[in-house]
Amino acid sequence: MWWSVWDRLNILIFARLWCRCFQASDFIGAERFYTRAIIHDATNPAYFTNRALSRLKLSLWEAVIDDCQHALDLLPTSLKAYTYLGQAQLALDRPNEALSSSQQAYKLAIAVRSPSAATIAGTVLQAKKRKWEVSEDRRIMEEGGLLGKLVKMLTEEGEKEVSAVETQWSLGKEEGRVHKEHRHEEGGEWNKNREGDTQALEAAVWEEIEARKHSTRERINLLKDVFARADPAKYKPRIVPDHLIDNITFCIMHDPVITKHGQSYERATILEHLRRSKTDPLTREPLTEEDLRPNLALRVACEEFMRENGWAVDY
């Protein structure tokens, strides 16, 4: 009795504090609160998924994966765990894993009618696109030739830039530590400030690295585009056929459903519309969720197109 009251009180306090942290975008604070919650009760999957979300915001991808796996051990049907897992795996550039996690998340989201289905469908498509990019790169490398060599050079140059930033940063950190030891007597307040500085600096370095990676990717894409245009035999204009595109979001579909009037939409999008208005978007006649049927042939057509044309995701 005593304990259950104490537990409940604790959970209430945690929930309150956590909310405040999230509102203030204090994800470090939120992460700490959830670590404490987990120490208090390691059998609650929600603590793990909530910490995973804070860690996702902090870009601690490996830690997100850890938390999601814990949550899935406790609750194998956790929609949030699969969602965050897919996002973290995508960020770590593991498109195959990201695809299977986000497909699992999508299935669960549709089953419980979660409004996050549209976002998850986006992750599924991004994972597919990344898979296509990886296989395209492999093809270009295998074909050898000038393009392969140039891409390799640009990639290496990009890696060099990133490691230069990293080296500079770790040298700076060494120096900082020496300073800190010197000034230790000057009191705790100063040290605290210093810690804040380090955090800000770390964020700046991270941003710098991401910027370098981004510009390398851009350069490579530009190069590939130039080569594609120079080779009219292989060059095809990048256009997604209209029938593969969802008429509401204008994105290529991944789980199309057909209405009783014959028009197909991405399932997550049309469900979002039906939540607001139970009408057919084209004819304005009554339309409910039960009237929607999966359009399997179109689904296969979209999948096939995506396999050859991963760029279609950003079209």
Partner 1 sequence: MTFATRRLRKIVGALPPGITLVRAEDFKEWQLDIRVLDDNPIYKGKTYRLSFKFNINYPIDAPIVTFVEAPGITIPMHPHIYSNGIICLDLLSSGNGWSPVQSVESVCMSIQSMLTGNTRNERPEGDADFVRSGNTNPRNIRFVYDDPTV
Residue 155 or 279: the one with the smaller Cβ distance to partner 1 is 279
CA angle 197, 14, 120 (to 5 degrees): 80
- In angstroms, give the least distance from the CB of 245 to partner 1: 10
Read off the amino acid at residue 241.
P
Task: Dihedral sign for Cα 278, 284, 287, 289, please.
Answer: negative
The token pair that represents 71 in the structure block: 């949550």
Is the CB of 121 or the CB of 140 nearer to partner 1? Answer: 121
Run of H or E residues at 305 = helix 296-308
Q: How far is the CB of 257 from partner 1 (least distance, A)?
A: 15
* Smallest distance, partner 1 to C-beta of residue 43, A: 37
Q: What's the min distance (Å) between Cβ of 226 and partner 1?
A: 23
Q: Minimal distance in Å, beta carbon 73 to partner 1?
A: 34
Q: Using the minimum distance from each CB to partner 1, give the nearer residue, 64 or 271.
A: 271
Residues that bind partner 1 (CB under 8 A): 118, 247-251, 269, 272-273, 276-277, 279, 281-282, 284, 314
Cα–Cα distance between 233 and 43 in angstroms, integer?
Answer: 60
Q: Between residues 184 and 261, which has the closer beta carbon with respect to partner 1?
A: 261
Phi, psi of 237 (to 5 degrees): -60, 140
Nearer to partner 1, 166 or 285 (CB): 285
Shortest Cβ 248–partner 1 spacing (Å)? 4
CB 306 within 8 A of CB 295: no
Residue that has been written with the tokens 């014959």 in this structure:
262
Closest to partner 1 by CB, 191 vs 277, is 277
At a CB cut-off of 8 Å and minimum separation 6, what does 269 contact? 118, 246, 248, 249
CB 195: neighbour CB atoms within 10 A? Answer: 11
